[in-house]
């Protein structure tokens, strides 16, 4: 006598079927939650390390000029003077930022920009006056600074320039240089040896947090081809 499967395995009851469905939905929810937690965890891991990624520095090598970018006075000028004393380059250039000098002059109010003080820092730290130069054109942002530096360096036949900036700004400087100047002349990017930026804990103070946000926005703008440009006024 033959035995049919139905004689051995009875049909599942409606309660068993519903229980299986609930288990299946529970497993799917658990899998989705696990994936979500994994994605959030990976994002937080990257976010916490994104500050240290901003900081880069090239090995020091002989160059024809050291350039002090505007900002963070006097730290960048102090580092440039230190590099000059190490004979890294025979001259130091100082970037000139845009300023309200013209508007103040209309009111007969004198204005002295940070380029003046950066040059004074260089002189105070032993850089000869004839070895310093303030760049002729004011620059509204890093891209304009780099365009001017690269143009002047090429016209002077320079093979390499050292740019001194703040630690969190170094990655953006390198990125913009590669996009606008390429590898001619060669860029050597440096930052002050005692720069206080704490990339591993950038969220702990407002200055580091502001640097973090500004640099990532600036990098995004550079990667996108500079759609955001400074106000022409």
Q: Catalogue the E-assigned strands of the chain.
A: 65-68, 92-94, 132-134, 160-164, 186-190
* Interval 38-90: pLDDT, tens: 666 655 556 677 999 999 999 999 999 999 999 999 999 999 999 999 999 99
CA distance 219 to 207: 18
* Interval 152-182: pLDDT, tens: 999 999 999 999 999 999 999 999 999 999 9
**Domain boundaries in the chain?**
14-53, 65-193+203-223
More confident call, 73 vs 31? 73
Q: Phi-psi region for residue 53, left (φ > 0), alpha (ψ -120 to 50) or beta?
A: alpha
More confident call, 100 vs 33? 100
Q: How confident is the model at residue 29 (pLDDT cuts 50, 70, 90)?
A: confident
Q: For the whole model, what pTM was predicted?
A: 0.82
Bridge-partner residues for 132, per DSSP? Answer: 92
CA distance 57 to 188: 8
pLDDT of residue 26: 74
pLDDT at 6 over 60: no
Q: How confident is the model at residue 230 (pLDDT cuts 50, 70, 90)?
A: confident
pLDDT of residue 171: 98
How is residue 100 annotated by DSSP? Answer: S
pLDDT at 23 over 80: no
pLDDT of residue 40: 63
Write phi, then psi, for 28 (nearest 5 degrees).
-65, -40
**Residue 116, CB half-sphere, CA atoms under 13 Å: how many?**
6
* Interval 76-97: pLDDT, tens: 999 999 999 999 999 999 999 9
Domain 65-193+203-223 has CATH 1.10.287: no
Which residue's entry shows tokens 């759609």?
227
pLDDT of residue 35: 72
pLDDT of residue 28: 77
């Amino acid at each position: 006598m033959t035995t049919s499967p139905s004689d051995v395995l009875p049909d599942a009851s409606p309660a068993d079927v519903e229980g299986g469905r609930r288990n299946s939905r529970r497993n799917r929810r658990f899998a989705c939650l696990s994936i979500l937690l994994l994605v959030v965890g990976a994002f937080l891991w990257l976010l916490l390390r994104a500050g240290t990624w901003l900081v880069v520095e090239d090995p020091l090598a002989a160059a024809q000029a050291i350039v002090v970018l505007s900002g963070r006075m006097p730290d960048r000028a102090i580092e440039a003077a230190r590099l000059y004393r190490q004979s890294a380059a025979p001259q130091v250039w100082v970037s000139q930022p845009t300023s309200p000098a013209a508007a103040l002059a209309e009111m007969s109010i004198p204005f002295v920009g940070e380029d003046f003080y950066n040059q004074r820092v260089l002189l105070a730290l032993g850089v000869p006056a004839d070895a310093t130069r303030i760049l002729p054109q004011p620059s509204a942002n890093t891209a304009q600074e780099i365009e001017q530096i690269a143009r002047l360096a090429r016209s002077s036949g320079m093979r390499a320039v050292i740019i001194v900036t703040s630690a969190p700004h170094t990655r953006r400087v390198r990125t913009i240089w590669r996009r606008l100047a390429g590898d001619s002349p060669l860029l050597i990017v440096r930052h002050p040896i005692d720069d206080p930026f704490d990339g591993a804990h950038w969220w702990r103070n407002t200055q580091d947090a502001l640097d973090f946000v500004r640099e990532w926005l600036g990098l995004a703008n550079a990667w996108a081809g500079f759609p955001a440009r400074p106000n022409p006024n």
